[in-house]
Amino acid sequence: MESSELQSERVEVGDDLWAANDDFEKKGWTDGLPIIPPTEDRVARLIAASQRAAQDVIGLVPPRWAPATVEKISINAVMAGCRPEYMPVVIAAVEAITDARLNLYSLQATTGGPAVMLIVNGPIRNTLNINGGANALGEGWRANATMGRCIRLIQRNIGGSYPGTTCKATLGWPGKYSLCIGENEEASPWEPLHVERGFKAEQSTVTAISADSSIRASDLDSTKAEGILTNFAKRMEGPSGPEAIMVICPEHARIIANDGFSKRDVKQYVWQRAAYFMKDVPDETFYQRAKRRPDLNLKRSSVIPVTDQPEDILVVVAGGDGSQSQYIHVWGQSTPEGGSTRSVTKAIQV
């Protein structure tokens, strides 16, 4: 690729990596962690790996509504530490986050401070070593760490979401650095997320969803599905966004499936029990909630489930050995119109 095809501003930073990082940090272009300087050569390599033209616009990133060109995406991908072969996943992830259904604008601006969580399915997990096994929600895998980080840098550097000014996150949470996992399809007794959503098993996909906190759903005592799922439901009491995410570890998944539960059964069972009882909240909270959702005709005897429908609970199998599952709360609001944000799944073009 000719350097003249690249249209971004050139910034001289010299050869010293430390000085380059200081400079990027002063300009507000980092997430606080060191970056790989996006030289023309590095950016060109990632653009080539994307198999797209440098100035192709993948989507518009709010709140600036700036175009995420392949070049701009590649710059942020280099900074994040992505390998060139990650680019098809990154491109599909940007398609997902700029899809109107996710409503990235609200995620970027809200005091809720959510991250965008990426869930990868299909063969590309193995090709790129995207972890969905032990420590799946933790550190250690370059693909997970850098692809999730790249999306956050894009939100910041292309979209203009800067904490404290245009991003009003009160606290945020560590997921905002990077939150990307593969589903552990090989250890799952059920169909994977992308197959549930109508894709073929042999296709690779990435799902983007709002995520604002993670709650442990460990259970080392139960040997039956009802115990594990009742424990999960307890963790999920209280409304989530329009959706909620159950990350079920393989050991729990096997027990649940061996008791005859399909993914659909899991969602139904938990949904019936993960409830927010209006009889338990103070008067002011009740009245405020009733005002917010007049369509629900709330009474003191009412119960608000974790999501409007059981189908809005995502069930994803991930993790290694151990009886440690997690519930990930989705930022957003259930609304009569269908919700202020919805997860989006896009095919990865390889």
Partner 1 sequence: MTIITHAFDALAKSEKDAFGAPDHPVLVVQHPIGTVKPDEVNKRADAAFGMLIDMLLEPQLGKVAVGR
Residues that bind partner 1 (CB under 8 A): 63-66, 109, 111, 160, 165-166, 168
Please identify, using beta-carbon distances, which residue of 105 and 142 lies nearer to partner 1. 105
For residue 193, report the phi and psi dihedrals to the nearest 5 degrees.
-55, -45
Cα gap 55→76, rounded to integer Å: 15
Evaluate whether 144 touches 130 at the Cβ level (below 8 Å). yes
For residue 258, report the phi and psi dihedrals to the nearest 5 degrees.
-65, -25
Evaluate whether 123 touches 206 at the Cβ level (below 8 Å). no
Cα gap 180→50, rounded to integer Å: 19
Please identify, using beta-carbon distances, which residue of 165 and 301 lies nearer to partner 1. 165
Smallest gap, in angstroms, from Cβ of residue 293 to partner 1? 15
**Count of C-beta atoms within a 10 Å radius of residue 67:** 16
Smallest gap, in angstroms, from Cβ of residue 26 to partner 1? 19
Smallest gap, in angstroms, from Cβ of residue 76 to partner 1? 19
Cα gap 129→40, rounded to integer Å: 27
Please identify, using beta-carbon distances, which residue of 207 and 210 lies nearer to partner 1. 210
Structure tokens that stand for 179 in this block: 């939150």
Please identify, using beta-carbon distances, which residue of 48 and 281 lies nearer to partner 1. 281
Evaluate whether 146 touches 82 at the Cβ level (below 8 Å). yes
Smallest gap, in angstroms, from Cβ of residue 28 to partner 1? 13
| Beta strands, E only, 108-162 | 115-121
**Angle ∠(37,25,99) on CA atoms, nearest 5:** 75
Smallest gap, in angstroms, from Cβ of residue 34 to partner 1? 27
Smallest gap, in angstroms, from Cβ of residue 166 to partner 1? 5
Please identify, using beta-carbon distances, which residue of 64 and 273 lies nearer to partner 1. 64
Say what the alpha-carbon torsion angle 157, 159, 162, 163 is, to the nearest 10 degrees.
-120
Smallest gap, in angstroms, from Cβ of residue 153 to partner 1? 18
For residue 43, report the phi and psi dihedrals to the nearest 5 degrees.
-65, -40
Parallel/antiparallel/unpaired status of strands 180-182 and 313-317: unpaired
Please identify, using beta-carbon distances, which residue of 132 and 160 lies nearer to partner 1. 160
Please identify, using beta-carbon distances, which residue of 117 and 167 lies nearer to partner 1. 167
